[in-house]
Structure formats: structure tokens, C-alpha cells
Amino acid sequence: MSSSVSVANENGVAVVTIDNPPVNALSFHVRKPLYEALTALRDDPAARAIVIACAGGTFVAGADITEFGKPIQQPELRAIIALLETIAKPTVAAIHGTALGGGLELALGCHFRVADRGAKLGLPEVKLGLLPGGGGTVHLPRLVGPAKALGMIVSGTPISASEAKAAGLADAVADGDLLAEAVRFAKEMADRGGPFVPVRDRNDRLGETDLAAFGAQAADLAKKARGLEAPIACAEAVRNAITLPFDEALAVERQLFQKLVSGDQSRAQRHLFFAEREAAKIPGKDLQKRRIELVGIIGAGTMGGGIAMAFANGGLPVTLLETNEEALQRGLTTIEKNYAVSVNRGSLSEEVKRQRLGLFKASTDYADLADCDLIIEAVFEDMAVKKEVFGKLDAIAKPGAILATNTSYLDVDAIAASTSRPQDVLGMHFFSPANVMKLLEIVRAEKTAPEVLATVADLARRIGKVAVVVGVCHGFVGNRMLSARGAENEALLLEGATPSQVDKTFTDFGWPMGPFQMGDLAGLDIGWRNRKARGQTAVIADMLCEQGHFGQKTGRGWYRYESGAREPIADPDVEALIRAKAAELGIARRDIGADEIIERTLYPLVNEGAKILEEGIAMRASDIDVVWVNGYGFPIGKGGPMFWAGFEGAGKIVERLEHWHERTGRAIFEPAPVLRRFAEIGAWEAL
């Protein structure tokens, strides 16, 4: 007996309890005694049935992912499952909390599963760039059918106990004492008598999806995978479960797992998993947090409306404030429409929609924000307007209220200075659409109190956001790096590339879309207005805007769009415009390859990230990766720009940056000292 696994006998039913806090991961020090206990119980006449249960808040919530990529210490999970499958007496998994990954696979090794009403069951390995490597792909289809299994394995999304019962994954759902119910169930099975068929030998549901339908489902998933290997390997493994004998399918699952676990994509996705956890570790985390029960939002435009929805979705009441009734009504109508779309899509019930709308209050009077614990400003991006708003807030907000700005670029220190309480002021930079996008940049101003930072980081988690703390600079982490990524876009066009060619290089890399498509989607007029305000120009984009071509909303931009469609069509007029401008500027056009496009867009992106680290604007290189993956669509299979720099070769990046710096003299190409050091020692180091 070990401290991680104990055995008790309850009226002839052996209860094996795993106790490995915090989530009962299947570490070596659990597997070994578990294997030994099951071996002993297999032949123990005093045990008529076996229940596997867990202490603490959850069933086994997965493998021990710190062991991934290292040599496996025996017995591995597969050996435990194989052992379970040789046991003739009934075996029952008693599931509470979450049975995920290796945890669910362990449960699939049992004859039966009894789940607590609140339990969740799933195989989320795909989110780490893997497939379930403990027999999940061959066991699950035998219980729930191939189509359902494929959906669960490729999405990685867990299902509820009731859904598991309906699908055939759980045999019973317990509303009361789970362990008592599991023991009762096990005893009943033992009384009823065998033989008890292990899941591996239950083949009756495998034929319920024909191979053609399965192939169509898998092809659709492959398309959505956008270059990720894991979802495709998952589909292959589930298909094998249908077409190959059990042991062969199991062996191929192992090979596929090994290939993925040692591959770059899974390394990148595991990096991101840890990066998100790290990002949550912020200075002041353990300080007493302020209570946030009521949130005020100023401005009910694109961002204000989305931010308000994000809080309402998290169950917090919000008061929306606008300059006049008309603007307020416009904002509320958009919010209602957005919820209605979710109801029509089936992702939200009418009842929940009503509840959420019930959390909104609307006002044009600042006095109505006096009770708010947190007030977020999302008005026009104009320093004078922001200062005026913060001046008013200073007068009405209760003492201790947190005052946040959603500014994209402006100096949060200057905004804080327009109040008498800069310690309560910080930036909360949401991304559009704010009710959907996961990222939140929390901007720490010079005087922001540590507990204010910690309170907002906590709150971000409450509303399902991935928060990263950043410092004050123009555009913070994300938008500042985005500017560096796009600085050469027009030069590339003038020198010979086309918008579609640049965008294709991006989508081939794994981005959901390229910079020109993104510009058309966001609206070219936004950048144009910003440039004019800052006395800047962009030769081609300015010309498009002068002609009224703002992108998708006007049907023309970098591309043409057929009425109402979002599919970009290359526009010969735009290409002619680019050629004419190049001729006018005396720029000789030439063929530009994908390598050069990457060197002139993504290398400056990494370089700017290195400068951001150097300046302490981001605390860690991995925080920058979290920003780029969650806010800007950097492909997860490449782990974010800073992680990708390691794959690409920092030495090569420095060398090519130097080359472009010499040719153009542009600061974006001047290699940051931190990048040079990364090239030397292979680890990111903030100064």
C-alpha cells in the first residue's frame, strides 16, 4: 500500500482509492501501486468486485504531463488497462469531478462507469497536439459509436454525465453519494454474475457509422485543422478502431502517439499550455483582492458592447453609459441582436438569453456608476476625451473602485494622472469581438496598486479570459508587435508581391488569414483615420481609402467582394494601382518569394517581441506567445512568435534582420540585443 493508492473492502467490494493531489494525475508513483493493487485483487477471493475511485475534488484528471516526452517508467497506463481487462470480476470506475485524458482511459479499462451528476468526461489530448495514447481511440468508439467518439476526440471538449449516460459511456449517474452508489452497482453486477465483457471486446456499435460517412466527417475535420497534425491522427486512429482488429488498432494508436509527442507541433502546444499557466502568475497574486460585484462600462460601441456582454456572460451585472439615449439604444440593440444570433444557432437558450439581458442597466448619467466596483472606459481613442471621462469618474466613483481604460495605444500613465487616484487605474485591453476573444492585456501603469492588478487578473479568469500583464508603451505588446509585422507590407507590394501572394504565405504558415484580408475585414478606414491623426501616410492604402474602398464593408478594399460575400477576390485594379505607384516612385518590381515575405514580416515581429522583453513591457517571452496565439491567431502548432523563433533558428533570424537592416536602414530590422543573446544561448532572457 502506498500513500497514493489505498484499498478497502466494503462488504466484498474492493474499493481502490487514488489520492494524488491536486488532480489525481497518473504519475509513476500512482501507476506502480495501482498496478500492484489490481494484480493482488484480481486473484483475491475476498473481493467479488472492484471499484476504482479518487480522493479529493476529482477523478483522475489526466496523465502527468510533465512526464510527456520523457522515457516512460513502467508500468505505463496501457499496462494497467490491459491488466484490468484480464479481470473476470466486475470492475467499476466511480467518476466525480473530471475524468479527462488518461483518467477517462483508465475508466474505459473498467467494465462499468458510474458518474456523479456533476462529472465531466473527455479526451482533451488534441489540445496538446496529441491523441489519446492509452487506448482511448479504440475503446471510446466501442461504447459511444465512431461518429460520437470522433467528435469528442477531435474537439477535446468534455461531455456531462447525462450526455455520457445517453451516449453509452456511463452506465449509471449518481445524484447522491457516488461511492456508495458505485459500490452498490458493483455488488449488483457481482450478484448477477458474469461473464463481464471488457470494452475491448464489445464490437456491436462499431458498424453503426458507414465508412463513407466517417470519411466525410474526417475530411471536414481535417480541413478545419489548418495544418495541425493531431486532429488528423485522431481521425485515423478512430478509423482504425473500425477497420482493424483491436490489438492492431491499439498498436497503431501507440505509433501515432509517439510520432505526435516527439513532434514540433505538440511541443509547441505543450509550451502554450504551460505558458498560459505561467502568465497567471503575477506580482501581488496572493494579496487580498477587492470585491467586484458590479461593473460599469462607458461607451456602448463595438468594444463597450462586447465587454459588457463578456461580463454578463460571466454572471456580473453591468451598467452601460453613453452620451445620449440614441447611442445607448443603438448599443443595446446590437447586444440583443448578438444574443439572438446565439439563440438561433442553438448555442444559447432563450431562458439564458433573458437572464443575461436582465443583467444590463443603461444610463446617460455618470451618477449611476457611483456604486460600481469596476468601471471600464471604452470611448473614442482620443486622449482629450479619455481624460475628460476619467476626470468625471474621479468625481463620482466610490473610494476603492477600480478604473480601467480599454485604450489600444494611448499612455495609461497619462490617463491615470488625470485622476486623484492613479493607484486604482490600469488598462484592460480587450480584443474584438470582446465577448468572444479570449485575450485580455492587463496594462500595469506606473502607479497601479499590486492588489488592483491581482483583482483584475482574478476577475479575468472569472469571465473566462486569458490575461497577460503588460507594461505601458504605444500599443502595449500585441498592437506594438502588429505594427512591426505590418511595417513592410506596402514595401513588399511595391517591390513586386501582390496582396493575395502575401496573404497566401500567411495562411500557408497557419494563420487564419493574411494581413491584407485582415485589413479588409477590420475596415481600412480605421488605420487611415489613425494615420491622418498622427500625420502619417501609407501610399497604397491611403489611395484605396480616398477612393472609398474601405474593405468588406464597401465591397472593395485590397480585394473585391461579391455582394454580401466574405470571400476575397483578387482585384486587377488594385494590382494596376500598385504597379503604377511603383513606377512613379522608380521602384523596380521583381519576384518575391515566400521566404522573403516571412523574413520581412515575421522576423520583425519576433524582433519587436525581443525589444518588448528588453524593456520589461512583457515579463516573459512565453507571455508574448500567449498574447499572439489568443489575440491575433498566431498558429498554435508553432507555439507563438517567441517559441517559433527557436524552431526557425534565432541565428538565422539575426543574420537576415541584419541583411534587411543594411538594405533598408529601418529600425524594425535592427536586431535587439536580447535576440542576439537568444541566438547565442538558446533561451529568452529578460534584462
Q: 56 or 301: whose CB is closer to ligand NAD? A: 301
User: Considering the complex, what minimum distance in angstroms separates the CB of residue 392 from ligand NAD?
Assistant: 8
- Amino acid at residue number 318: V
Q: 48: which DSSP letter? A: S
Q: Applying CB under 6 A, which part among 23-31, 55-63, 132-140, 406-414 lies near ligand NAD?
A: 406-414
**Angle between helices 524-533 and 515-522 in degrees, nearest 10:** 90
Contact flag: residue 523 with ligand NAD (CB under 6 A): no
Number of residues that bind ligand NAD (CB under 6 A): 23
633 binds ligand NAD (CB under 6 A): no
443 binds ligand NAD (CB under 6 A): no
Cα–Cα distances (Å) from 439 to 214, 469, 482, 486, in that order, read: 35, 11, 15, 21
Give the interface segment with ligand NAD, choosing from 80-88, 295-303, 396-404, 452-460 (CB under 6 A). Answer: 295-303
Torsion of CA 232, 238, 241, 243, to 10 degrees: -60
> What is the rounded CA–CA span in Å between residue 232 and residue 228?
7
Q: Which stretch binds ligand NAD (CB under 6 A): 171-179, 217-225, 378-386, 594-602?
A: 378-386
Residue 304 or residue 514: which is nearer to ligand NAD going by CB? 304
The reply on whether position 303 binds ligand NAD by CB under 6 A is: yes
Q: Rounded to the nearest 5°, which phi and psi values hold at 429? A: -95, 100
Q: How far is the CB of 170 from ligand NAD (least distance, A)?
A: 43
Cα–Cα distance between 108 and 468 in angstroms, integer? 38
The binder of ligand NAD chosen from 301, 523, 527, 555 (CB under 6 A): 301
Pick from 334, 432, 483, 507 the residue near ligand NAD by CB under 6 A.
432
SS3 content of the chain, % helix, strand, coil (to 5): 55, 10, 35
Place of cell 452508489: 181
Cell reading at 173: 449517474
Stretch that binds ligand NAD, among 56-64, 104-112, 227-235, 372-380 (CB under 6 A): 372-380
Q: Does 321 bind ligand NAD (CB under 6 A)?
A: yes
Kindly tell me which residue out of 249, 292, 298, 472 binds ligand NAD, with binding defined by CB under 6 A. 298
Query: Closest separation between CB of residue 240 and ligand NAD, Å?
Result: 45
Measured from the CB atom, the residue of 376 and 674 that comes closer to ligand NAD is 376
**CA torsion, points 433, 437, 439, 443, in degrees to nearest 10?**
10
> In the set 4, 98, 407, 505, which binds ligand NAD (CB under 6 A)?
407
Q: Using CB under 6 A, pick the residue from 194, 277, 358, 380 that binds ligand NAD.
A: 380
Residue 227's φ and ψ, nearest 5 degrees, are 85, -5
Question: How far apart are CB 385 and ligand NAD at their closest, in Å?
Answer: 5
Going by C-beta distance under 8 Å and a sequence separation of 6 or more, which residues neighbour residue 593? none
DSSP H helical segments within 510-639, as ranges?
A: 515-522, 524-533, 539-546, 572-584, 594-614, 621-631
What is the dihedral sign for C-alpha 256, 259, 261, 264?
negative
CB of 372 to ligand NAD, least distance (A): 14
Residue 7, SS3? Answer: strand
Residue 424 as a binder of ligand NAD (CB under 6 A): the answer is no
475 binds ligand NAD (CB under 6 A): no
Is 125 annotated as catalytic? yes
Indicate which residue of 10, 76, 85, 105 is catalytic. Answer: 105
Q: Kind of pairing, strands 98-100 and 112-116?
A: unpaired
Q: Give the relative orientation of helices 146-155 and 229-243 as an angle to the nearest 10 degrees.
A: 160
Q: Quick one: 16 exposed, middle or buried, by C-beta within 10 A (0-12, 13-18, 19+)?
A: buried
Question: Alpha-carbon torsion 504, 509, 513, 515, what sign?
Answer: negative
CB-based contacts of 210: which residues, under 8 Å, 6+ apart?
A: none
Chain-centre distance for alpha carbon 218:
23
Query: Which residues neighbour 326 within 8 Å (Cβ) at sequence distance 6 or greater?
Result: none
Q: Which of 266, 408, 601, 622 binds ligand NAD (CB under 6 A)?
A: 408
Let me know if 614 is a catalytic residue: no
Q: Which is nearer to ligand NAD, 322 or 520 (CB)?
A: 322
Min dist. Cβ of residue 431 to ligand NAD (A):
6
User: CA triplet 593, 597, 602: central angle to 5 degrees?
Assistant: 150
Spell out, one character per residue from 232 to 271, where the chain touches ligand NAD: x when CB under 6 A holds, - when not.
----------------------------------------
Q: Which of 123, 153, 312, 378 binds ligand NAD (CB under 6 A)?
A: 378
The reply to whether 322 sits near ligand NAD by the rule CB under 6 A is yes
* 520 binding ligand NAD? (CB under 6 A): no
At residue 193, the 3 state secondary structure works out as coil
Count of CA atoms in the C-beta half-sphere (13 A) of 632: 25
Among 76, 85, 125, 253, the one annotated catalytic: 125
By CB atoms closer than 10 A (0-12, 13-18, 19+), residue 670 is middle
State which of residues 2, 302, 507, 554 lies at the interface with ligand NAD (CB under 6 A).
302
Judge contact between 359 and 316, C-beta under 8 A: yes
For 79, the grid coordinates are 499496462
If one asks whether residue 379 binds ligand NAD (CB under 6 A), the answer comes out as yes
Q: How far is the CB of 152 from ligand NAD (least distance, A)?
A: 34
- For ligand NAD, which residue of 197, 219, 341, 385 counts as binding (CB under 6 A)? 385
By CB under 6 A, is residue 381 in contact with ligand NAD? yes
Using CB under 6 A as the binding rule, whether residue 299 contacts ligand NAD is answered as: yes
Which residue's Cβ has the minimum distance to ligand NAD? 301
- Report the amino acid identity of residue 247: D
In the bound state with ligand NAD, the residue whose beta carbon lies nearer, of 173 and 393, is 393
Interacting stretch for ligand NAD, rule CB under 6 A, among 322-330, 469-477, 492-500, 607-615? 322-330
Contact positions vs ligand NAD (CB under 6 A):
298-304, 321-323, 327, 378-381, 385, 389, 406-408, 430-432
Active site residues: 105, 125
